[in-house]
Amino acid sequence: MSESLERISTAILEGDEEKAPKLVARALRKQVSAKDILENALLVGMGEVGVRFKAGDMFVPEVLMSAEAMRASMELLRPELIREGVQLFGKILMGTVKGDLHDIGKNLVNMMCEGAGFEVIDLGFNAAPEKFLDAIKEHQPQIVGMSAMLTTTMRAMGYTIKAIEEAGLRDQVKIMVGGAPVDAEFAKRIGADGYGSNAPAGAELAKQFVGAA
């Protein structure tokens, strides 16, 4: 890895939201390709964040800082990626299901998925099945992710999956679920394709779904 790419990766890992995009801009001026910056700096940095978070060596506030540094860098880099014709791994549609107002966990998964090279469409919280359906039709994602933090709202995941099936959209998407009361057995029972126990696991599952893991 070149020194400029290593500095970007380090800035992402350190969560430096001001420094990271400045380093990206500098690399672009030096004719480093957007693809190279994405794959060998941004994704490397966020990959290390995921490893450390999973190992308990980084905590939620630090991950959020790294994710913001990644997001600021991607805002600058995305037009260049488009110009170069670089494709991200795919689109993920994420939302906390109807009746549930918790979204910290979902936001973490969003950030880890963005850091893994996905475009994320966030429906926010209290997202009704109809909102998922409309967004699937509009954005054509490869993956749909649902989060619930309450045992009382877990059932909304099943209702949403059923609505997707009845709308004839189920074959178009892979569905992953997660949240404190959710487990792999529940995911299987409601017809989801997979379960993510935490944010890094969710991002890894998404990569498996598109054959990028």
pLDDT range class, residue 50, cuts 50, 70, 90: confident
pLDDT of residue 85: 84
**Taking all residues of the chain, what is their mean pLDDT, rounded to a whole number?**
92
Q: Does 21 have pLDDT greater than 70?
A: yes
What tens digit of pLDDT does each residue of 82-99 get? 888 887 889 999 999 999
Instruction: Report the pLDDT averaged over residues 14-26.
Output: 96
Sequence-distant (6+) residues with CB within 8 A of 194 are 174, 175, 176, 177, 187, 205, 208, 209
Instruction: Report the pLDDT averaged over residues 179-194.
Output: 96
**Cα distance between residue 112 and residue 18, in whole Å:** 19
Distances (CA, A) of 47 to 52, 63, 138, 192, 205: 9, 11, 30, 26, 14
Q: Does 101 have pLDDT greater than 70?
A: yes
Q: Does 212 have pLDDT greater than 80?
A: no
Burial category of 167 from C-beta neighbours within 10 Å (exposed 0-12, middle 13-18, buried 19 and up):
middle
How much of the chain, in percent, has pLDDT values that exceed 90?
69
Q: Does 166 have pLDDT greater than 70?
A: yes
More confident residue, 117 or 187: 187
Instruction: Report the pLDDT averaged over residues 161-171.
Output: 97
- Bridge partners of 143, per DSSP, are 92, 174
- Bridge partners of 147, per DSSP, are 96, 178
- Give the count of alpha carbons within 13 A of 140, CB side only: 0
pLDDT of residue 213: 61
pLDDT of residue 39: 87
3-state SS track over 47-91: HHHHHHHHHCCCCHHHHHHHHHHHHHHHHHHHHHHHHHCCCCCCE
- Bridge partners of 24, per DSSP, are none
pLDDT of residue 1: 62
pLDDT of residue 167: 97
* H/E element, 194: strand 194-195
Q: Which of 19-23, 51-55, 167-171 has the lowest mean pLDDT?
A: 51-55
Fold of 3-84: 1.10.1240
**Cα distance between residue 192 and residue 184, in whole Å:** 9
Task: Give the predicted TM-score (pTM) of the model.
Answer: 0.81
What tens digit of pLDDT does each residue of 102-147 get? 988 898 898 888 878 899 999 999 999 999 999 999 999 999 999 9
- 36 residue type, one letter: D
Distances (CA, A) of 78 to 34, 139, 187: 8, 18, 34
| Domain 91-209: assigned CATH number | 3.40.50.280
Bridging pattern class, strands 143-147 and 194-195: unpaired
Q: What does the domain layout of the chain look like in residue ranges?
A: 3-84, 91-209
- CB distance 166 to 129 below 8 Å: no
